[in-house]
Amino acid sequence: MNRSLPVLEGRTAIVTGAGSGIGRGLARSLAAAGCRVIVAVRRQSTGEETAALIGAEGGISLVVQCDVTQEGDVVRAVEQGVRQFGGLDIVVHNANAADSAHPLALEAVTAENFRTQSRVTWDGAFWLARASLPYLKKSAAGRFILLGSAFGLHGASFNPVYASLKGGYRGLSKALAREWGKYGITVNAIQPAAATEPTEIFFNQFPEVRDAYMKNFPMGRMGRPREDIGGAVVALCSDDCGFITAQSIQVDGGLYTAM
Amino acid sequence: MSAEVCIVAGAGSAETTTLAGPLAATGYAVALVSDQPTDLHSEENITSVPCKFDTRAGVDLAFDQAVARCGAPQLLVLSMIPASLMRPGDIDEVPGELWTETLQAAALGTLYALQACHRLLRGTGGTIVLVGPALSLVGASGLSTLSTLLEAQRALAKSAARQWGRLGIRVHWIAPGCAGNYGELNAASIPVGPELGPPPPALGRVPGNTDIAPLIAFLGSSGASALTGSTLVADGGNWMVP
């Protein structure tokens, strides 16, 4: 690799849910690595904030209002980015429904609970896969990354819908990796454990839960969205990792060791 | 002494109902709750109850009918896989409604069935076994929709196991091999095992329902009381998933 250039120089990435939390961290990290980033957000204002942070570091981005539950929005976001930047190399589907972290017993889940979340995660992934495929095929280093969760691996007694949908990503990423390998496109799922604003709010309400949870991390802390999770995504998108596909990768400081 | 009762919920395809007979052969009185036309009505120890699995109330009603006819269950088996998801097609060829409607209806149907299981077992404990082809553990080209559903069901089973364990409810996932068990998948390209030796599976054959039913019965027995949340790959030794 030529270390004199940023590792992803000249590539274009789209990141959904890039207006806050992990998504913002990923967008900033990819931009810092040389990507032109399509900041896909439901609310334009949050995207502008992310774009300002990227711009302050000399990065290039395009904010596109995009409700990932809507096929038309996703197609438009991809097409707009391709028109602006000339192609698409990296797709990162990070968006989650706003209520995805709300505790709910399995027996209390309603169809509305499920669909509110599945429209963002599953439908978003589906529309993104279809809209981006023609461009990823043309890329010399196509990458499709789903932001999963360790919950999808081990289940979650207080959040079964989220766990189930993220579990579905494992199946989807492996199937798509097999389907798209012939195009040179890698497909992986990242399972992050990162401290975000909702996490902090939750832990501030339940400090004893935080204390117990932190003991599970061999590294003694949760991940940082940009440095830890973003760093892993940048690495996965680099040429060095072009032979890694169909994997569910834990980026969690050693939280989950049961693979 | 009356036989123990097993409710088999089979939805979406004919293959999902085929465990009912072998489970009855292990000694269970079986109630088959299904949206499939079935020719099992006349078999001894199998009672059929129709159910569309499209609303929670409808599933609850069907399960209640099963209990009324057979008695309270100790074992519930869920096999819920739409036939349309087993027909291979690359993701850019998948009709939008197959993803946004069929897939999600199947996931919701599984959720409703699990909720009905909880309602029946919360006072007594018991065992729930979800069943789906092993392909999702390794992925299969052209089956992205099915792979998504199966892994979602498997994660849901683990969440149920975590949440309901203290009620004495144990929940498992069994993944049979595809060949011979899921005819709808005959047209699909199912990846074979990764090693260079004799062709998998290691046992020389893919276990069928007559092998799977005793395994399910074991999970429902006191001998399996230490297990919950497990994934058992019953494919005769193919990928040997960790």
Q: What is the pLDDT of residue A198?
A: 75
Distance between CA atoms of B64 and A151, rounded to whole angstroms? 32
The domain over range B5-185 is classified in CATH as 3.40.50.720:
yes
Residue in A114, A126, A127, A188 to test binding to B, most B beta-carbons within 10 Å: A126
Task: Provide ipTM, 2 decimals.
Answer: 0.95
Domains of chain A (ranges, CATH numbers): 12-251 (3.40.50.720)
Contact B158 A123 (CB under 8 A): no
Q: What is the pLDDT of residue A258?
A: 81
Q: What is the pLDDT of residue A45?
A: 98
Residue in A120, A122, A133, A149 to test binding to B, most B beta-carbons within 10 Å: A122
Contact A160 B159 (CB under 8 A): yes
The secondary element (H helix, E strand) that includes residue A237 is: helix A231-237
Selecting from B148, B154, B163 the residue whose C-beta is nearest the C-beta of A172 gives B148
Q: What is the pLDDT of residue B200?
A: 86
Task: Give contacts of B118 with chain A, Cβ < 8 Å.
Answer: 106-107
Give mean pLDDT, residues B130-144.
95
Give mean pLDDT, residues B136-156.
97
Read off the pTM.
Answer: 0.96
Spatial neighbors of B134 by CB under 8 A, at least 6 apart, are B175, B176, B177, B178, B233, B234, B235, B238, B239, B241
Contact B152 A179 (CB under 8 A): no
Q: At residue B1, does pLDDT exceed 60?
A: no
Q: What is the pLDDT of residue B225?
A: 97
Which residue in A has a C-alpha nearest to residue B241's C-alpha? A259
As given in the structure block, the two tokens for residue A119 are 């429209």
Please state, for a pLDDT cut of 90, what percent of chain A lies above it. 86
Task: Give contacts of A109 with chain B, Cβ < 8 Å.
Answer: 111, 115
Please state, for a pLDDT cut of 70, what percent of chain A lies above it. 98
Contact assessment for residue A167 and residue B156, using Cβ atoms and an 8 Å cutoff: yes
Which residue in A has a C-alpha nearest to residue B137's C-alpha? A171
Other Cβ atoms within 10 Å of A228 Cβ, number: 22
Residues 57-96 of A with CB under 8 A from B: 71
Q: Which tens digits make up the pLDDT trace of B43-101?
A: 677 999 999 999 999 999 999 999 999 999 999 999 999 999 999 999 999 999 999 99
Classify residue A192 by burial, with Cβ atoms within 10 Å: 0-12, 13-18, 19+: buried
Distance between CA atoms of A80 and A83, rounded to whole angstroms? 5
Give mean pLDDT, residues A160-189.
97
Task: Give contacts of B101 with chain A, Cβ < 8 Å.
Answer: none
Contact assessment for residue B194 and residue B232, using Cβ atoms and an 8 Å cutoff: no
Amino acid at B240: M
Q: What is the pLDDT of residue A2?
A: 46
